[in-house]
Chain A
């Protein structure tokens, strides 16, 4: 079976609800591209995820254009991780955060020597921000600054 046509589904749903049509980001032309110049086993990887992950002790996300970012320490126990997100069924992610925030999976691959190391924090936000401008001008630059500050060689981005 073909992958689900989410854009068509959501467009129809919004029509039924009487909402104005959502304008999906459409990027024309090829994206910027930086080739990887060393093996993964020598790379410092920065994990970025938009599943609404926070650690116990941090402020949870709210559901209305929350553009804030949480830094999750790379050694954070998986049991300390929580989710707050309006747009997906969080049951499995709450039972095992690796579903949407593969910090434990990545730690395992570092221990195996597949990946060099992780940046000191993973960086999380909620996504579902309706304004592409705010993502482009606020969230994305803040994430890139965090990746640079923590000297990430590569970044793995995990949306929901």
Chain B
């Protein structure tokens, strides 16, 4: 994502990257970033907590004006839990799925809908064939 951010800035569009992996963000070094120390899959907040999601977004968007040097990362002042126990639990988890090379629908109905909508399209990329 940092690569896209760099190219957008080159094209004159200011960017902000949210992040929940500080070391990866520092390695890619995007123009502006806001780091939220939450588990992967929660880059913009916890499920069904719109108040927290709004507060996180407001703090993050503030970085558009407060970060004035390229490559800075704003550390957002939110914690997932009181004692960071999610970090210890994560050591036992690897939730990665096999690299299937066909579309992976959340629901079977989605497949039917997409196939109806995309008749004559490439089943992999969804782009209509000429």
Contact = CB atoms under 8 A, between A and B. Distances in A.
A88 B14 contact: no
Interface residues of A, number: 83
Nearest to B79: A1
A148 B13 contact: yes
B113 A135 contact: no
Contact of A34 (B13, B20, B29): B13
Contacts of B77: none
A42 B106 CA distance: 37
Q: How many of chain B's residues touch chain A, expressed as a range?
A: 35 or more
Interface string B79-97: 0000010010010011111
Interface in A49-77: 50-51, 54, 56-64, 66, 68, 70
Contact of B96 (A6, A83, A86): A86
A88 B40 contact: yes
A48 B44 CA distance: 13
A158 B101 CA distance: 24
B126 A58 contact: yes
Given A3-B22, A158-B1, A160-B41, 18 more contacts: A8-B23, A30-B71, A31-B2, A31-B29, A57-B113, A62-B103, A82-B107, A89-B40, A89-B41, A95-B47, A99-B42, A99-B45, A100-B43, A104-B50, A139-B3, A148-B13, A154-B16, A159-B19
10 contacts: A24-B24, A30-B69, A30-B70, A56-B110, A57-B113, A60-B110, A61-B103, A105-B45, A108-B50, A154-B14
